[in-house]
Amino acid sequence: MTTHVELRRGAYHDSVSLMQVSRTVAGAFGVTAAQVAMATELNVDVLRGMGFDVPAEAGPNDLVVALRAHDADGVDAGLAAVADALAAMRGTGDSGGSSDDAVAPRTLGSAAARSAANLAVISVPGQHAVTEAFDAIASGMSVMLFSDNVSVEDEVRLKDAAAAADVLVMGPDCGTAHVGGVALGFANVVRPGAVGIVAASGTGAQQVMCLLDAAGVGLSHCLGVGGRDLKDAVGGRSTRQALAALADDPATETVLVVSKPPDAAVLTDLEAHAAQLGLRVHWAVLGSGRPDLTRAVEDFLVAEGHSVPTWPAALAAADDPALTRGPSLRGLFCGGTLADEAMLVAGDQLGGIRSNIPLQPELALPHDLKADDHLVIDQAVD
């Protein structure tokens, strides 16, 4: 087995595109593992966990190409696949970079000026994301802000600017959206239809989309608003914009709002606002005493005159001898909404559950995530 690690200084590419590059390169003949990623702290930890020796001087603006192959020929094939994938991503293809090629835009604003685009997907590091998002808003574009590490203060500033410009900020840390039949980020292929989703949740939005699809109900749009949008500090700013946009959309007849546990006052205000839009709005909002996502979708289906299907069963029977048993609950999730839902459901029977995203501050896990109590861990948290 041959390993190759290469550091390309200052060669920045957005993380969403690099996911596809890595997948393409991993399929090259002779390659057994491949990661092409920016050398952020998280990515470097992942690469080292995979057994790649990443240079100590690697920084978040550097590109790491890490390959494991059967032999040197496999490494060569992988590097050739990297070159082809990056060229295709830049839009140069086989043109060879001739002098007739148009000079690529160097800012988001200049790119917007050359196109009729009305939506920008931004996935640069958090410290740069706010500038790019303001540039997009000033150009009249809505924004899907995939980037995280954006302060609450900057989130509020961006969303206020978007409201003034009558556009929408989806995010920050918005990993799921579905706009006009196009899936953005980590999204699902679902049937088209007349139901719009507004989601302060990523995994929750995906769960609801899949449940609706299984019930034969189609989607018009899924607009992510960022996990903090229904918290007190943000006040539902993007949710208001998203609801207004769906109310004006002729393809949308009804809306389902999906959220992690919100601030109670913000939810009350949004319910009053939604009632004035002339749009049927339903709520799949987690919280103590509220239905879980599956029950909320079932309630939505009944209210809208649809049949509730028998959902596919994936859980083992309670008496399955293969189940591992112990004195405490252990839940591992990749997504905060489903982790929150599990803690709310199980907490009714078990009491408080400790977590790295606790429902109450006193239930927070220590830094090493170890405890003898019931615990749920969201592995998507840095």
Q: State how far the alpha carbon of 97 is from the alpha carbons of 94, 100, 125, in Å.
A: 8, 8, 28
**67 near 31, Cβ under 8 Å?**
yes
Partner residues linked to 130 by β-bridges = none
Domain boundaries, the chain: 2-90, 107-167, 174-314, 330-378
Neighbours of 365 (CB within 10 A): 17
pLDDT at 95: 38
* 17-74 pLDDT tens trace: 898 899 999 999 999 999 999 998 888 999 998 999 999 999 888 999 999 999 999 9
Tell me the HSE value of 221 on the side-chain side, using a 13 A CA sphere: 19
Confidence of residue 84 (pLDDT cuts 50, 70, 90): very high
Q: Do 2-90 and 174-314 show the same overall fold?
A: no
How far is Cα 173 from Cα 197, in angstroms, rounded to an integer?
A: 17
pLDDT at 319: 64
Confidence of residue 140 (pLDDT cuts 50, 70, 90): very high
Structure tokens at 205: 């939005």
**Is the preceding peptide bond at 327 cis, omega within 30 degrees of 0?**
no
311, containing H or E segment: none
Structure tokens at 8: 């390309």
Neighbours of 188 (CB within 10 A): 16
Confidence of residue 382 (pLDDT cuts 50, 70, 90): low
- How many percent of the chain have pLDDT more than 90? 72
**Distance of alpha carbon 214 from the chain centroid:** 22
pTM reported for the whole predicted model: 0.77
Structure tokens at 154: 């900057």
How far is Cα 118 from Cα 189, in angstroms, rounded to an integer?
A: 22
**Distance of alpha carbon 301 from the chain centroid:** 25
* 301-358 pLDDT tens trace: 999 999 999 987 755 555 666 666 788 999 999 888 999 999 999 998 899 999 999 9
How far is Cα 144 from Cα 120, in angstroms, rounded to an integer?
A: 6
The CATH fold assigned to 107-167 is Rossmann fold (3.40.50)
The whole-chain average pLDDT of the chain stands at: 90
Residue given tokens 């208001």 in the structure block: 240
Select from 145, 108, 107, 147 the least CA-distant residue to 126. Answer: 147
- Position 97 pLDDT exceeds 80: no
Per DSSP, the three-state class of 227 is: coil
Residue given tokens 């507004």 in the structure block: 198
Q: Which CATH number fits domain 174-314: 3.30.450.40, 3.40.50.300, 3.40.50.261, 3.40.50.620?
A: 3.40.50.261
- Position 112 pLDDT exceeds 50: yes
CATH number of 2-90: 3.30.70
Select from 73, 11, 70 the least CA-distant residue to 36. Answer: 11
How far is Cα 309 from Cα 217, in angstroms, rounded to an integer?
A: 11
